[in-house]
Structure 1
């Protein structure tokens, strides 16, 4: 998106038409409000960034897309367009509503040729220097435009009607011919915009404009620096530097920061009386018949269009950022200290990094620094991939989350070409299940519940199914797709690429046609993780026969959880699951099977920040081999310092493949002693540290107890007998590692 420069932000709004409350759709669900439909269609307008819309700081075209986002006027109670500029065929068609017509009788929507007529009226006004039809009321204007079918020369009639015939006669012949082409009454004879561009009047103008080349996107195979040019005189750049650094940021970033600084768009519109509300008692009719017909109720004009633009003041935002120095807007990526906020209160901002995440996300100054830093790092992706990982461990700014997730998942290449090449239209057997699942997936969210959101859901899910013929669609794939689609609503290709990269890493072979062995192994390892970190809870769950299963969190909680999840490997979800159970521990221990089922069907509030913090600790405390899965994704080759491709798996290659098929038999996880030894050393030293020092295998471990153990103890209740001298009361919530001596007589 282009920088703000010296422009100001403005806003205007309108109300969608209301739907009846006692009507359901064909799927039996309540009708989607028209406002939700409009919101979904509006999103595509954010992707239109042609410089001719706002060139050199002067707005050329604004408030466009109203006809598209309102479903050709079907979702609002006012006509789309200004009467003086409407094409005759649009006027003749009149206003229609879907509820008033069967689908076969629905008129065709207006096309580009109707816009050519409107362009002709605008050009005519520019040539004569006055607005047309100002002396006529609306009904007379519409009637006059419809009578132009009976005249031979529309230009002459319009000029005579407005007393500007002399001005028209002085125009060049090429301009008059252009006006005649635009103001051709019959749309079948009227040229299209492409045909109009071939007119002679543009032959001398077109060479003056540099053709617009859409810049390469972040995830594409094209060279992003191909058109990068530097001025011959570098010193001139220093002279042109503007001290208004905020003006160099994109409009999207400025609006996001404006909201954080206390900006309230709805409040601004209410203050300007664009949004008006009435007390409910004032909306009641004076007289009501038994059949429901009412009288005496004044017409509510709030549903009509008011295209007044309200200017949004940036004073509050600029005042909030007045102490931020210029260095913060241009951090040096090669400098280790460049990621620190820069201002007169450096210490305060540095301390902000230690505050709770929800506070950091609402801190305007902190978010400004994080957004700028991530923006520059992402523009250097994949060269700065390691630094993106480093900064993501601190936090991810919500505005940059979609692109950052893609970078963490390693998305690269021509993702748009790959996505466009997938057949998403041909019917497949999975279509029916997708249609059933989508209306039930995160429908509390306005974007995902809109018809446009459903269509995008359908295309992305179908693209994944078609492009992975060895896998199948299982229920839950829609919930997996939802976060990626929400963050990349206007970039389906990136949402598809992220989901395609996420599934092999964290859910490898989960979507096989027969995935029972994969699910069984996953649940086995998860049960063993619970037993390793909380034996008491594990024993209770085994006694009542309850196996914690999947659950879906709201989107706003998923985001914070996945910010950390994407930094871990395929075993990290186990730690998240155990951390969630830790928050529910007391309630689980106090209830039986039926109560636990009800608890998970209506999951109580979970502290996500605490969950993230504890899951990281659990990950550090867990031996690598304890989370080994036979059906996990095979390790990918990586590059070492010399640039040679080598394979460096997370799990050791000597890990066995135990037959993990019985959840009851395998309550305890098996792991390599060396991995446990590393963790025990970390306990003894009071912190976590990873080491590959083989000398740790020799010598005495601080805090260890030596106990004589007859061989028969190993055969008959050895663990119970050994428990007494170890004094378990003092070792609760600690890792107890039992090592058998070489002579098998000492432990």
Structure 2
């Protein structure tokens, strides 16, 4: 009997031990501490109401029935201590307790996320304030430090300082404050002298086709933005594009150049739009004629400086674009082999979608506000529009890699890459693309030979060709 009781007691201990081990893991907000005897204030009212007379259920049956000789008899509620038997008495309350503690854990996680979001917003606000102070101090200096301006502008420019910063980074006005007014007056007069000289010729036989194409393209530009459907704005764009084309006969006007005027025009216009007013619906005729002339001439000179760096994109056969698309293809083959193979297997040519990326500098792929943020960095980069843009296109394509790989045929891939869902993109997404592009530039820009590795010799092909020649000689 004694031996039997000893075995029975050991069995009871093992059963209790098994029940304890099968309980939830010890985590904040869990009931592990309750099982081991610690009180938890939020659960006290539940534990005090547990029915101590109800037997504890186990996965092998009732502990009371199986080991009743080894368990102490239950006591009344008045004298019951906070022991294991009382606290684990009612399995019917386990789910309630588990749900309660799970809700507590979820609440804590939610609170942690909200706290993290609040902290992130606070830090971003603080960083923006510090950045604005630096811009303010820099812009007020008599001789502006261009290197410091580039450094501040790369990660984005505050709208308040963007018009002036873009003019400086576009080499339109000097860094010296004392020379700016003189330069602006001279350049603005020079532009309108071009208008007087060239614009009347738009109806001549030799130029009327070019002017007609400009006249057709401008209404198509940003058709969903009311600002660009206003006749005054369209007349300004016509003059800008026609004068540029007349002064650059090697390329003339090419479709896509009209889009490149838009960011400059919007940024310079923002200087005159009242705070809280949407620039998309702003009635430009409210501005004086002098301001309208300044907007037009400033936009002309800045887009001219941009196009001077990428003019081979628009000369005959557009060799600049073809070269960039070819480099894009090689870069994809180096950084994302599955995507490269997927496009090749489905016979997708890079020119079919990337031509527009190079021709319009991604303006047709992302919202205008994202384009403006993107150009903050382009203007801060050496050869930003001609070289850095290539790495941005690679990063942009790579960002959609998973979606593209899910498309299983040519038609599906083309529909996706020509209509990428970027409508809701913000500066956050552009910042991620720029960061990835900078990494690619750091890896490949200083080692251009890596972009075009020497193709390995196909020995099988040459061996087969030699065998065919030998067999022909024998015959």
With structure 1 as the length reference, what TM-score do the two structures score? 0.35
1:524 alignment counterpart = 326
2:339 alignment counterpart = 537
Please show how residues 411-450 of structure 1 align to structure 2 within 5 Å: 411-412=172-173, 413=183, 414-423=186-195, 425-426=199-200, 427=202, 428-429=207-208, 430-450=210-230
Shift of 1:480: 1.1
1:574 aligns with 2:335: no
1:400 aligns with 2:161: yes
1:586 aligns with 2:402: yes
1:492 aligns with 2:264: no
CA distance in 1, matches of 2:457, 2:416: 41
Contact 1:411 1:497 in 2 (8 A): yes
Contact 2:188 2:297 in 1 (8 A): yes
Contact 2:246 2:252 in 1 (8 A): no
Contact 1:381 1:407 in 2 (8 A): no
2:233 alignment counterpart = 453
Shift of 1:397: 0.4
CA distance in 1, matches of 2:397, 2:391: 10
Residues 1:419 and 1:373: Cα distance change in structure 2 (over 3 Å): farther
Gaps of 5+ in 1: 1-350, 628-667, 673-712, 718-747
1:561 alignment counterpart = 374
State the SS of the aligned residue for 1:488.
helix
1:616 alignment counterpart = 438
Shift of 1:532: 1.9
- State the Cα deviation string for residues 353-409 of structure 1 (Å, max 9, x = none): x968x995xx4x765654454345345586421221121134310222222122222
- State the Cα deviation string for residues 497-546 of structure 1 (Å, max 9, x = none): 111111222x231121x134333222111111211221221122122222
Shift of 1:459: 1.8
1:598 alignment counterpart = 415
Residues 1:580 and 1:382: Cα distance change in structure 2 (over 3 Å): farther
Contact 2:155 2:377 in 1 (8 A): no
State the SS of the aligned residue for 1:448.
helix
- State the Cα deviation string for residues 558-589 of structure 1 (Å, max 9, x = none): 01212222223332111111111122101212
Residues 1:372 and 1:593: Cα distance change in structure 2 (over 3 Å): same
1:330 alignment counterpart = none
1:49 alignment counterpart = none
Aligned residues: 281
- Counterpart selection for 1:670 from 446, 452, 455: 452
State the SS of the aligned residue for 1:624.
coil
- State the Cα deviation string for residues 287-319 of structure 1 (Å, max 9, x = none): xxxxxxxxxxxxxxxxxxxxxxxxxxxxxxxxx
Shift of 1:439: 0.9
Residues 1:567 and 1:671: Cα distance change in structure 2 (over 3 Å): farther
Contact 1:625 1:671 in 2 (8 A): no
1:152 alignment counterpart = none
1:508 aligns with 2:321: no
2:58 alignment counterpart = none
Contact 2:346 2:410 in 1 (8 A): yes
CA distance in 2, matches of 1:459, 1:359: 45
The CA RMSD over aligned residues, in Å, is 3.2
State the SS of the aligned residue for 1:545.
coil
Contact 1:422 1:466 in 2 (8 A): no
- Counterpart selection for 1:388 from 142, 149, 165: 149
CA distance in 2, matches of 1:369, 1:444: 36
CA distance in 1, matches of 2:230, 2:458: 65
Residues 1:588 and 1:472: Cα distance change in structure 2 (over 3 Å): same
Residues 1:409 and 1:532: Cα distance change in structure 2 (over 3 Å): farther
Contact 1:447 1:486 in 2 (8 A): no
- State the Cα deviation string for residues 190-249 of structure 1 (Å, max 9, x = none): xxxxxxxxxxxxxxxxxxxxxxxxxxxxxxxxxxxxxxxxxxxxxxxxxxxxxxxxxxxx
Shift of 1:435: 1.3
With structure 2 as the length reference, what TM-score do the two structures score? 0.53
CA distance in 2, matches of 1:572, 1:445: 28
Contact 1:529 1:574 in 2 (8 A): no
CA distance in 2, matches of 1:579, 1:604: 16
1:275 alignment counterpart = none
Contact 2:444 2:451 in 1 (8 A): no
CA distance in 2, matches of 1:377, 1:387: 8
Shift of 1:436: 0.9
Gaps of 5+ in 2: 1-115, 174-182, 270-291, 358-363, 461-475
Shift of 1:626: 2.5
Q: Which has the larger radius of gyration?
A: 2
CA distance in 1, matches of 2:314, 2:434: 27
CA distance in 2, matches of 1:421, 1:372: 39
- State the Cα deviation string for residues 156-183 of structure 1 (Å, max 9, x = none): xxxxxxxxxxxxxxxxxxxxxxxxxxxx
Contact 1:625 1:670 in 2 (8 A): no
CA distance in 2, matches of 1:478, 1:536: 36
Residues 1:451 and 1:715: Cα distance change in structure 2 (over 3 Å): closer
CA distance in 2, matches of 1:524, 1:450: 39
Residues 1:372 and 1:403: Cα distance change in structure 2 (over 3 Å): same
Shift of 1:440: 1.1
